[in-house]
Amino acid sequence: MYRYDAIDKEFLTDRSNEFRHQVGRRLAGELSEDQFKPLRLMNGLYLQLHAYMLRVCIPYGTLNVAQVRRLAWIARTYDKGYGHFTTRQNIQFHWIKLRDAPDILDALAEVNLHAIQTSGNCIRNTTSDPRAGATAEEIDDPRVWSEAIRQWSTLHPEFSYLPRKFKIAVTASAKDRTAARVHDIGLALRRGRDGTLGFEVMVGGGMGRTPFIGQTIKEFLPATRLLSYLEAVLRVYNRAGRRDNIYKARIKILVSSLGAEEFGRQVEEEWAQIDAARADLPDTELARIRAAFIQPGLEVLPPVSDSYEAARAANPALARFARNNVSAHKAPGYAIVDVSLKAHDATPGDANSDQLEAIADLAERFSLGDIRVTHEQNLVLPHVKQSDLPALFEGLVAVGLATPNINLVSDIIACPGLDYCALANARAIPVAQSIAQRFLDADRAELVGELKIKISGCINACGHHHVGHIGILGVDKKGEEYYQLTLGGSGAEDASIGKILGPGLNADQVAPAVDRLVEVYLAERQGEERFLDTYRRIGMTPFKEAVYVDAH
Amino acid sequence: MSTLIKYTANGATEIENAFVSVVDGEPVPQGADIIVSLGRIKAEGEALLASGVRVGVQIEPAEAVEDLAELLPRLALVAVAFPKFRDGRAYTSATLLRQRLGFNGEVRAVGDVLREQAYVMTRCGIDAFVPADGSSAAEWSRAAGHFRHVYQTAADGRTPAYAEPGRR
């Protein structure tokens, strides 16, 4: 894991002091709310329906034990005892007082956490693979490049007042767990024919009211030229991106209006003029960052643990957990464990202080102190010995975190919705809960298999509904909450934008409709097809007919 | 005359602004140092530059600073405009003036110029400021120099964290 040295620590102290000073000026009336707003946003502080919300950055979704314990303490001390993990691998606290914010940032800085650039029209936290450094699938460790981007983008002077927010994802496996194609820039690590590392660069993906899948503008960018190329992309965007309309200000609109080819040409032209020696990281620095991610402590183990195999055979609950939440690790005898934050009666992505502390303890005992956050609002313990899995499972059961539903119908992404958010048109959390309730039968959920449901409480699409296999969008129709269903979206390597199923539904019609969609899939599926595959093969009509049969 | 803050590695000082901003279409005052628009310098550049006064040009966010390339050696300053503090295009203009066009004269921030942006402005190579919030030179200096470390190269030439001797 990357360790902050004295320079990183002093930087966070300076940032924290700066914000304390700015809050003081705001509370004294020296700054107007209009002047203060971008400053608090760049420190992750939003004004929501009921209170301030503080969004804490979790760089590329990686946490250590001390950090998780501190998040638990902050939730208990300054919030109502819980935090909400987001689709950007961050955590947010929804019940914060402005006057407490500087103290919270100090407490975060003590464990090398911060809220820098978790909001505002700047470069946001880089998304990466929660299995980085643990999966055998990866071409390279994407955290190396994510950390390089973190440093480069932190208070970048030229790119702190962009037309709109800017999100970058780095993925390194054929299976994309970062939603790279719906980021402003998606970077997919590739190995060139000569064995060198490079990136496929995709730009202009995004969701919101005009969703786009990112388009490739460079097939193979030599990895060592990453920062100069990012500089070129950001500079073209900073100059040419629209600033007259907030809804047309993202890079996706610029790429769409110019065409990806022309945008790519402008980037190349700009890139050719940048002094690589100034802009690109020296090899020594890349090597320094890389060294920080070499995982110490992995033991040489037999590929199969007999005690684990026996425990699994004896305990059906453990066996179910193993089927759904445990994946292969690159090291023999180890496993990657997904920890679901989607219990059927829970708010998707929420964890309370007790749970956070339990996760920290379990990670310390069983996962080399490493904890990851996924963009699907779950946690990952990436380095667990198979022989420790039974004990870990019991530990998770004890705090309600052993829900065996990863990638299943109840593993739902949902934004905070109208329960918290000032922008929302409709609630998202109760809808997620009603679907989870409907699929309580775990055998049936497993029979259905991978099914990604994503719910947004408004068109800003924080719940990624556009890329849900089933997407659910809350809309306001004459003061009433309605839900529009979309089918066929994907945020993974086979990215696509979902298509609208039909007229909007009431809140209590959503779960039954999902049930009917699932029944159509179960009746129609061939072989190993996922819901998404069946939809792509047979099209919208059978699904539509099943949901709206009563309307005929 | 408005106050101008000049910022150097040794800190910030307040000086009198000797330049008059000339609105397009209005006559140029005799004998005064002037700041004119990009359009005007393109149209009347030779006459203005031959008149013996110091000449600066103001670049608006939508204008390409590269258009000044040939004139730069003869300009006393370039003013980059911030019609709103949120409009970040001038950061690119200033950066390109320093890094690409090699301009060593004054780059001045005008418009909605606030102390909260002193740090990023300075890092982009802006070295003169007409603050809109009444900031003193001392306040400006404190805001601009607040961070002991920087993470990336920029037009101010500061050593990034990765090149600091203490990096571990």
Out of A370, A398, A426, a domain closes at A398
* Pair A383, A427 in one domain: no
Mean pLDDT of A267-284: 97
A269 in reach of chain B (CB within 8 A): no
A157 in reach of chain B (CB within 8 A): yes
Under the banding of pLDDT at 50, 70 and 90, the label for residue A1 is confident
* Beta carbons of A22 and B116 less than 8 Å apart: yes
* Pair A191, A59 in one domain: no
- How confident is the model over A158-200, as pLDDT tens digits? 999 999 999 999 999 999 999 999 999 999 999 999 999 999 9
* Pair A54, A103 in one domain: yes
Chain B closest CA to A163's CA: distance in Å?
Answer: 7
* Pair A147, A255 in one domain: yes
| pLDDT reported for residue A552 | 56
Under the banding of pLDDT at 50, 70 and 90, the label for residue B168 is confident
CB pairs under 8 A between A and B: 107
Under the banding of pLDDT at 50, 70 and 90, the label for residue A503 is very high
Domain span at residue A330 reads 306-398
- Site from B93, B116, B126, B146 to mutate, A interface, most A CB atoms within 10 angstroms: B116
* Pair A49, A99 in one domain: yes
Under the banding of pLDDT at 50, 70 and 90, the label for residue A519 is very high
* Pair A100, A193 in one domain: no
- Report which secondary-structure segment, H or E, holds A480: strand A480-487
| pLDDT reported for residue A320 | 98
Out of A345, A369, A398, a domain closes at A398
Chain A closest CA to B150's CA: distance in Å?
Answer: 8
* Beta carbons of A159 and B91 less than 8 Å apart: yes
pLDDT at A47 over 90: no
Under the banding of pLDDT at 50, 70 and 90, the label for residue A117 is very high
Q: At which residue do the structure tokens 């202080």 appear?
A: A353
Q: How far apart are the first and last CA of chain A?
A: 58
Residues in chain B with CB shorter than 8 Å from the CB of A288 are: 162, 167
| pLDDT reported for residue A210 | 95
User: In whole numbers, what is the pLDDT of chain A averaged over residues?
Assistant: 96
What is the ipTM score, two decimals? 0.97
Cα distance between residue A82 and residue A400, in whole Å: 14
* Pair A51, A91 in one domain: yes
By the 8 A CB rule, do A183 and A169 touch? yes
The CATH class for the domain spanning B3-163 reads: alpha beta
pLDDT at A328 over 70: yes
Mean pLDDT of A107-113: 96
Q: What is the DSSP string of A366-398?
A: HSTTEEEE-TTS-EEEEEEEGGGHHHHHHHHHH
* Pair A428, A392 in one domain: no
User: In whole numbers, what is the pLDDT of chain B averaged over residues?
Assistant: 95
Does some domain include residue A127? no
Under the banding of pLDDT at 50, 70 and 90, the label for residue A30 is confident
Out of A398, A424, A439, a domain closes at A398
Q: Which of residues 32-51 of A touch B (CB under 8 A)?
A: 35, 38-39
- How confident is the model over B14-60, as pLDDT tens digits? 999 999 999 999 999 999 999 999 999 999 999 999 999 999 999 99
CATH code for the domain of A63? 3.90.480.20
Q: At which residue do the structure tokens 């914000």 appear?
A: A19
| pLDDT reported for residue A75 | 98
pLDDT at A393 over 60: yes
Does some domain include residue A405? no
Cα distance between residue A23 and residue A318, in whole Å: 50
* Beta carbons of A14 and B168 less than 8 Å apart: no
By the 8 A CB rule, do A238 and B92 touch? yes
* Pair A250, A345 in one domain: no
CATH code for the domain of A174? 3.30.413.10
* Beta carbons of B124 and A8 less than 8 Å apart: no
Chain A closest CA to B138's CA: distance in Å?
Answer: 15
* Beta carbons of A154 and B151 less than 8 Å apart: yes
* Pair A219, A257 in one domain: yes
* Beta carbons of A6 and B95 less than 8 Å apart: no
Domain boundaries defined on chain B: 3-163
* Beta carbons of A121 and B91 less than 8 Å apart: no
* Pair A157, A210 in one domain: yes
Residues 6+ apart with CB under 8 A from A414: A347, A348, A349, A377, A428, A429, A431, A432, A454, A455, A456, A457, A463
Angle (nearest 5°) at CA A129 between A209 and A91: 65
> How many CA within 13 A on the CB side of residue A232?
25
* Pair A376, A461 in one domain: no
Counting the structural domains of chain A, the total is 4
| pLDDT reported for residue A49 | 79
B46 in reach of chain A (CB within 8 A): no
Cα distance between residue A328 and residue A323, in whole Å: 11
pLDDT at B1 over 70: no
